[in-house]
Structure 1
Amino acid sequence: MQEGLAVVTLVLVGLMVGVEVCVAAFVNPTFDRLPNGGGLAARSDGARVLGRVMPVWYVGSVLCSVGWAVQTWGRPEALTVVVAAALLVVSVVLSVMLLVPINSQVAQWSSTGAPANWREQVGRWDRLHVLRVAILVIAFTLLVLSGVSHSA
């Protein structure tokens, strides 16, 4: 059962990290280059769509990693799984406290219009998102190392 949970956790977290890296490195920079407010509309739509999906994905990743940590307790790989789970929790707290409030505003801009400082707000979101991505990459790396050390 431990191997199954490890695989599910690695796939779940790995795909989430891939999506978040893609948003940071490719999607939002591309949106920012669109003419005539297209980027703002695209960000607003993305905020609505991902705003519904990502909370489930993040919580699922935390729950799977915590389950994996419980299963490995007392084994050498337990510490790396616990640290990874803690980092995933940090990413959720960071998201809820700092990113979600901005994202919620961005999601409404297509219907209400954007404020004068919208570029500043999405720039702040982008910087915080890069921090979150770094945390997620470290957590995923630790999970991979845990899986590799367990199978060795």
Structure 2
Amino acid sequence: MQNVLVVVTVVVVGLMVGVELAVAAFVNPIFDRLPGNGGVAARSNGARVLGQVMPFWYVSSVLLAAWWAVSAWGDLQALTVVVAAALLVVSVVMSVTLLVPINAQVARWSSASVPADWRLQVGKWDRLHYIRVGVIVAALVLLVVAAVG
């Protein structure tokens, strides 16, 4: 059972990291190069779609890591998993307090209601997102280290 929990946790967190890294490195930069305000529509749609899925994914990642930490308590890997779970909690707190408010605004934008400073707003979201990606990558690395250790 422990092996299944380890694999599921690493896969769920790994896929989440992959999606968030793809958004940071590829998707949003592509959207930003669309002509005119094309990036607004693309980002708005992405904010709505991912805004519905990602909360469950982040919470599931935290719960799986916490479950693993509890089940591994007393083993050498437990501390590594606890730190990874703590980083995932940090990513959730960052998301709720810093990124979600901006994302909620972006999700409501349309061609008719785009603010003049939309590029500044999404730029701020992008910078915060890069930090969050770094946090979840660190968590994933720790989970993998614990899994193979």
Instruction: State TM-score, norm by structure 1.
Output: 0.96
SS of alignment partner, residue 76 of structure 2: coil
Shift of 1:36: 2.2
User: After TM superposition, which residue ranges in structure 1, 4 or more long, deviate above 6 angstroms?
Assistant: none
Question: In the alignment, what sits opposite 2:86?
Answer: 86
2:41–2:111 Cα contact (<8 Å) kept: no
Could you list the runs of 5+ residues in structure 1 that have no partner in the other structure? Answer: none
Question: In the alignment, what sits opposite 2:134?
Answer: 134
Identity of aligned residues (%): 69
CA distance in 2, matches of 1:22, 1:140: 15
CA deviation string 1:22-70 (max 9, x = no partner): 0000000000000121111000000000000000000000000000000
- The RMSD of aligned alpha carbons is 0.9
Counterpart residue identity of residue 32, structure 1: D
Question: In the alignment, what sits opposite 1:29?
Answer: 29
CA distance in 2, matches of 1:105, 1:45: 12
Question: In the alignment, what sits opposite 2:77?
Answer: 77
2:5–2:68 Cα contact (<8 Å) kept: yes
Tell me, yes or no, if structure 1 residue 15 matches structure 2 residue 20: no
2:37–2:111 Cα contact (<8 Å) kept: no
2:40–2:111 Cα contact (<8 Å) kept: no
Question: In the alignment, what sits opposite 2:46?
Answer: 46
Shift of 1:111: 6.8
CA distance in 2, matches of 1:139, 1:111: 38
Shift of 1:112: 5.8
Instruction: State TM-score, norm by structure 2.
Output: 0.98
Counterpart residue identity of residue 95, structure 1: S
CA distance in 1, matches of 2:81, 2:111: 43
The more displaced of 58-67 and 113-122 is 113-122
SS of alignment partner, residue 134 of structure 1: helix
Could you list the runs of 5+ residues in structure 2 that have no partner in the other structure? Answer: none
C-alpha change, 1:143 and 1:29, in structure 2 (3 Å) is same
Question: In the alignment, what sits opposite 1:60?
Answer: 60
The more displaced of 103-112 and 125-134 is 103-112
